A and B are shown apart, each in its own frame.
Chain A
Amino acid sequence: MKRRITREENVILSSKLFFGWILAACLFFWTADASDYWSFSPPSRPELPERLHNAVEQNPIDRFVRAKLEELGGLGLVPSPKAEPKVLLRRLSFDLLGLPPSLDEGARYLEAPNEIAYAELVDRWLASPRFGEQVALDWLDAARYADTAGHAADAPRTMWLYRNWVIDAFNRNMPFDQFTVDQLAGDMIPGATQEQRIATGFHRNSMQALGNNPRKEEYRIKGIVDRLETTGRVWLGLTLACAECHDHKFDPISTEEYYQLFAIFNNVPHLGEKFGVHGPRLEIRSSDDQASWDRLERLLKRTGLDLSSIEDERVGETEATVEELKKTIKVAKKAREKIMSRTVTAQVMAELPEPRKTFIHIRGNFENPGKRVFPATPSFLPPHPEGQTANRLSFARWLVDGRNPLTARVMVNRIWAHYFGQGLVTTLDDFGSQGEKPSHPALLDWLAVEFVESGWDMKAIHRLIVTSATYQQSSRRRPELEAMDPENHWLARGPRFRLSGEEIRDNALSVSGLLTERIGGPSVFPLQPKGVGEFRDATAGTWETSEGADRYRRSLYTFWQRMSPYPGLAILDAPSRERSCVRRDTTNTPLQALLLMNDPAFVSMADALAQRVMAVEDGFAARLNWAFRLVLGRAPKSEERVRFARFNQDLMSGGVDTERKRWRSIAQVLLNLDETITKE
């Protein structure tokens, strides 16, 4: 074999050096005990760093962040001052509610923006039903919630009761351990309630090939692989997928251990086991409907029996009876159909009474079974309770028994990222050796222990973060910060990043006065260009835009089609939800500019905003003032007044002939500003 090469002399990245590095990493993992790795050893509560005598911060978070900055003293990073009250107000409102503050609430806070007023705001907003909707969005990404089944056919299916459950759980501040167990194994809890069974929709969000797919077993397996991948990502921060085909190259999980976990999830009834390709479902009806349903079922059974017995005996004189029975059956079936149309289904988990046998799939090929394995948890993590066979329920409880070194860290890290745009561990879904190390290990551990010891109180962690001085810092960049820490790992400034697609749309709906604040319920169909989001499934009808209030619901209620997601959100980086996603990209593209400037849906919001402004105030200056306060939470500066007045004049002389059109134009400008679509 001949090889001709050219090598430039100037090697910027020395290959030798890099391979040395890799080799060292490999050696480390071969020789070191896996449980020595930082994320696999249980967190213990670190001592709080000394309170700095000249610092006002009381919050433990700040003491850790401060201590880190001191430790990095050489970099000369100092914390930023507190953000301006009106900036902070908007930041907090978008973070906790996903919506801008109302004018009244804003005005009240800004009158006396002190610590007490801030704490009151935090309490009020944590108790708002909007809070549950806002944090549900992160969870629904992680849970790959969607209204269609994915794959080529992408057929619609009813999942929204699960979404309701998530929103409600967050609003009731359900402890995270219960939140976990209900979703992973609610159906297996003795005396499981209907709600607990709905919660298990979490793992029924997996994509599912419906209809006449010839590779049914393959797709059943794919569903389990997805459940493992999702569980690994969401609770353990581990990429389990690698071990499907080979021992994990980087983390201490063997293929055998992978299939032991697989065995835990391998008992959902499916296919031959009564439920067809769909898997188990709950049918939920009003109590009246349920009573009628049961009656009809009994009747149909009876008449069916009668009919067959008559036919069996071939009794001649009963022809009239047969006709009558047939008629009864027809009527009853019709009545049943009618009730079915009012019935809501929920995809849920169920467990086979007799577990399936699980074998290692050699190189990930299910048609090539190897050794038989039994349900168990990986050996590098704390042991599963002895003398008890692992199943979905015991596995879920094991995740949140407080000894698992990953669960609490992974969850508080994601809550952290909700506010700061990145986690203390930046790889939100990888706490293994290929993931990044935490920027503030002590803080992460302190939060994780606090989370567990508080009884897994999610709102408490949210409160802790937003009441910290670290969170409340100004997000203005400073030259020395830019040079030393452009990505803000050391938290010497506050977070500033673009709002999510949902927040951008909900904000526009809110300030234009169109937003419908109804909570929960079936998915809705907001306006989208014709032909873009048509259902792939020929039997599913067409995308009929919702009328009236449903057109203007919060974005998380948008009917989510995995294979052609709503463009107004997808263009702004909403994931397709084909797979679990714990970290969205935040891109910045010309397509986003076109969306916000030209999408008829956004244009109609600008138009509504224009009308709203014109209805409330008289005179250009007063209207502009009000519009600024509404959209930006602040009054226009004098320069801005001049520029907008000139803009208005130019439109007028350019032939934009009605006031409404000019205000629509101004409203469009306001809705497109960096300031409007950014959490500052």
Chain B
Amino acid sequence: MFPSLEQSLSRRHFIGATGLGMAALASLLQPKVLAGSRLAPRAKHVIYLFMSGGPSHVDTFDPKPELVRRDGQRIPTEWIDDVHFAMINNDQVPLLKGSPFRFKQFGQCGASISELFPHLSKVADELAIVRSLHSEVFNHDPAVSLLNTGDSRVGRPTMGAWLSYGLGNETENLPAYVVMTSGVKRQPLLNSYWTNGFLPSKHQGVRFRSEGDPVLFLSRPEGVGLSERRQQVDLIRWMNEQRFALFQDPETVARIAQYETAFRMQSAAPELMDLSNETSATMDLYGAVRGTASFANNCLLARRMVERGVRFVQLYDMGWDSHGKMVQEHTQQCKGVDQGAAGLIRDLKQRGLLDETLVIWGGEFGRTPVAQGGGKDWGRDHHPHGFTMWMAGGGIKGGVTYGNTDEFGFHAVEDRVSVHDFHATALHCLGIDHERLTYRHQGRDFRLTDVSGYVLPDLLS
């Protein structure tokens, strides 16, 4: 009397709107399900370089000569009447702080980039630099949540989960959504940064470690051979299918899929992490060193993941939260990511992968054009009112600088770009109409872009 697994799958696929587990079930038979309507896609993969803590825009991609000129003066109060600082004391008028770093123009496009990024400067013609991002969210976790999920309240699905849900995976050997981390831990990374939210649980990000086994417990127990393990997984699968026939619980199907992925990962993941076949030219391009953990290594691994079909890779680089010692910390942070990120773009390009990979760089907000603290240990506070991100690769027109902040780099004033616009544009590059990638939860359809967001044609190739 119960439908078979196959029947059940097609029924659920047909019903569609029942939501829970639908994609999980369908993907078993049709791994490349498309939930959002498809435009002409350019990119198939995303590598999102997340500068956790908030990189300073006025010291990196948004030069402000006026800010330098008026360094040390009080910021006119009309700028800050309506502004919440996270840590700067609100009862004193803070002082403008010009960037101590020199900017020059690079590439045919003449994009202005600071001396902190000597390598990225050389790929300026590949970048679409957006200087007019803005939000209202000035604390780390909600701001990261906004950038990742389109909502500052923690718990909605992240961009990676949406893409895993919407586009499926291109490999059965690795998860669709992989997260890696590097850098100096100044505030923690939370699991919610790569949550599936209310999407089926197979869409959550899987965090790979940078050293040793990429995930814990990857190696088979001593004495258990590959064929024994295959037989075990087959028997577990058969038993689970019996249970599914009885209880019809979609989580059982997701579990079957996860055991299969786990089995494949046991050989695919060590192969992925093994850099011994990379040439020294490639290693040098990234500044990667075998046997170490670094952002550069993670960038190289991200390319290897994309080559192997992983849909969404997010690399968190920690340590950008420079409330003090700005010069010292940002010099170190930029040095830590510059060559790796530039190497990634060059390497993807030389392998013909850049056209199908969307590379995104940015943090959860920028940093204040006014100083926090003084003396040589001055820093900058959280600043969501105007900040910079860049995109490159699939679907993106390189050599573009878009939008502007005001003369101090405080508010985004020209071609303002909301986080929803950024998401809408990224999804567009992947061939997804952001208004149609939806999931019904608790009685309403949800999207990554919530209820707004416009695609930015100026950024598209």
Contact = CB atoms under 8 A, between A and B. Distances in A.
Contact of B90 (A10, A12, A363, A567): A363
A243 to B, nearest CB: 14
Contacts of B202: 588-589
Which 6 pairs show the lowest CB-CB distances between chains A and B? A593-B262, A477-B248, A588-B201, A590-B262, A598-B217, A590-B261
A319 interface: no
A115 interface: no
A102 interface: no
Given A19-B451, A587-B196, A600 B251 contact: no
B254 A588 contact: yes
A436 B235 contact: no
Nearest to B452: A15
24 contacts: A3-B416, A6-B454, A10-B435, A13-B445, A152-B185, A436-B442, A482-B15, A482-B248, A496-B249, A529-B217, A531-B212, A578-B188, A588-B200, A590-B261, A591-B262, A593-B262, A594-B262, A594-B266, A650-B231, A651-B231, A654-B227, A673-B236, A673-B240, A678-B251
Nearest to A367: B89
A265 to B, nearest CB: 22
A336 B89 CA distance: 47
B247 A2 contact: no
Interface in A28-82: none
B457 interface: yes
A599 interface: yes
At the interface, is chain A mostly helix, strand, loop or mixed? loop
Interface string B243-257: 110111101101100
A151 B232 CA distance: 41
Interface stretch (B26-34, B47-55, B218-226, B334-342): B218-226
A603 B224 CA distance: 11
Interface stretch (A124-132, A157-165, A547-555, A639-647): A639-647
Interface of B: 3, 11-12, 15, 18-21, 37, 84-85, 87, 89-91, 175, 185, 188, 195-196, 200-202, 204, 206, 212, 215-221, 223-225, 227-229, 231-232, 235-236, 238-240, 242-244, 246-249, 251-252, 254-255, 258-259, 261-263, 265-266, 413-416, 433, 435-436, 438, 442, 445, 447, 451-452, 454-458
Contacts of B240: 673-675
Contacts of A669: 232, 235-236, 239
A363 B84 contact: yes
Contacts, number: 200
Contacts of B188: 563, 578
Contacts of B265: 590, 594
Nearest to B424: A6
A650 B230 CA distance: 11
A587 B236 CA distance: 19
A589 B11 CA distance: 25
Contacts of B216: 529, 532, 567, 571, 591, 594-595, 599
Contacts of B243: 673-675
A649 to B, nearest CB: 10
Given A6-B457, A585-B195, A669-B235, 11 more contacts: A1-B416, A2-B414, A245-B84, A476-B247, A476-B248, A590-B261, A593-B255, A593-B261, A594-B218, A594-B266, A675-B243
A674 B255 contact: yes
Interface centre among A496, A578, A588 (most CB of B within 10 A): A588
B221 A600 contact: yes
Given A12-B445, A13-B447, A665 B228 contact: yes
A589 B223 CA distance: 25
A678 B238 CA distance: 16
Interface string A490-524: 00000011100000000000000000000000000
Contacts of A482: 12, 15, 18, 248
B204 A599 contact: no
B232 A593 contact: no
Interface string A544-573: 000000000000000000010001000100
B193 to A, nearest CB: 13
A475 B247 contact: yes
Nearest to B252: A674
A571 B215 CA distance: 11
A7 interface: yes
B411 to A, nearest CB: 11
Contacts of A4: 456-458
A668 interface: yes
A673 B215 CA distance: 22
A322 B147 CA distance: 70
A103 interface: no
Contacts of B200: 588
Contacts of B185: 152
A5 B219 CA distance: 51
A616 interface: no
Contacts of A286: none
A661 B223 contact: yes
A497 B249 CA distance: 9
A592 B258 contact: yes
B121 to A, nearest CB: 28
A12 B436 contact: yes
A496 B247 contact: yes
A600 B219 CA distance: 10
A476 B246 contact: yes
A310 B419 CA distance: 75
Contact of B11 (A2, A10, A479, A487): A479
B232 A640 contact: no
A7 B454 contact: yes
A1 B223 contact: no
A589 B258 contact: yes
A11 interface: yes
B18 A486 contact: yes
Nearest to B259: A593
Contacts of A672: 232, 236, 259
A368 interface: yes
A563 B187 CA distance: 11
B324 to A, nearest CB: 11
A478 B8 CA distance: 11
A635 interface: no
